């Protein structure tokens, strides 16, 4: 049985990442540091055999994927199933603002209540179903090959949980660093984890990761 190797990457940094604002489906472009991260990612993957590049259709993910694709004379295929979780009326607010304006909803979000959805947004259950379906659909096209998927923190979180068989409410101990390289395998039996949060391409001379680390 041939497996599909997946390089799963969160988009580069945006201004809203810096401000800890919830982005969701709001279409925010990369900031200067995010574009630097995307360039570093492209350089790190220069010798990787990548058959196809896929990305969320949101600009921050698409820009990141295009930085990699350009160095390989490839194009990026977008897929709405790779979008970040829709946060409805939460979008545009900082975490502190949410705690002040919507304390009960904010608590349900922090506790990762699986069927909780902000007004106008998605629940974790809905996000999981969408993401897993999209990744299975894409991976099934490429048996025996390696592909790049550029998406979002919430999407990467779902992929990690799926690959390690962790529930939606399990406390997160893994990082979702912007443009970290995460390696997965997919077969019809599901996802498995190969490696996570490789940030060696983002290191400064002093070993500090030049990155925003919030989910």
Range with lowest mean pLDDT among 28-42, 133-147, 175-189, 192-206: 192-206
pLDDT (tens digit, 9 = 90+) per residue, 136-188?
A: 999 999 999 999 999 999 999 999 999 999 999 999 999 999 999 999 999 99
pLDDT (tens digit, 9 = 90+) per residue, 79-93?
A: 999 999 999 999 999
User: How many angstroms separate the CA atoms of 7 and 147, rounded?
Assistant: 6
Count helices and strands (H / E) in the chain.
Answer: 7, 6
Whole-model pTM: value is: 0.93
Burial 121-140 (b: 16+ CB within 10 A, else e): bbbbeebbebbbebbbebbe
Whether 214 has a pLDDT exceeding 50, the answer reads: no
* Rg over CA atoms, the chain: 17
Half-sphere exposure (Cβ direction) of 68: Cα atoms closer than 13 Å: 34
Whether 205 has a pLDDT exceeding 80, the answer reads: no
If we measure between CA atoms, which residue out of 129, 149, 152, 164 comes closest to residue 214? 152
* Residues in Cβ contact with 207 at an 8 Å cutoff, skipping those fewer than 6 apart: none
Mean pLDDT for all residues in the chain: 94
Residues annotated as catalytic are 11, 84
Domains of the chain: 4-86+123-202 (3.40.50.1240)
pLDDT band at residue 204 using 50, 70 and 90 as cut-offs? low
């Amino acid at each position: 049985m041939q497996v599909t190797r997946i390089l799963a990457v969160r988009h580069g940094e945006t201004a809203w990442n810096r401000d800890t604002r919830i982005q969701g489906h709001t279409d925010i472009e990369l900031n200067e540091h995010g574009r630097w991260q995307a360039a570093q990612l492209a350089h790190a993957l220069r010798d990787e055999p990548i058959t196809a590049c896929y990305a969320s259709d949101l600009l921050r993910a698409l820009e990141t994927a295009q930085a990699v694709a350009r160095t390989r004379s490839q194009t990026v295929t977008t897929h709405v199933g790779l979008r970040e979780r829709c946060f409805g009326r939460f979008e545009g607010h900082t975490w502190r603002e949410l705690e002040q304006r919507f304390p009960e909803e904010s608590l349900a979000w922090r506790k990762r209540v699986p069927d909780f959805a902000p007004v106008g947004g998605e629940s974790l259950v809905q996000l999981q179903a969408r993401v897993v379906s999209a990744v299975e659909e894409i991976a099934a096209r490429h048996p025996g090959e390696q592909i790049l998927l550029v998406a979002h923190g919430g999407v990467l979180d779902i992929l990690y949980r799926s690959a390690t068989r962790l529930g939606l409410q399990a406390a997160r101990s893994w990082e979702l660093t912007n443009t970290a390289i995460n390696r997965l395998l997919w077969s019809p039996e599901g996802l498995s984890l190969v490696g996570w949060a490789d940030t060696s391409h983002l290191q400064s001379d002093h070993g500090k990761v030049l990155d925003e680390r919030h989910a």
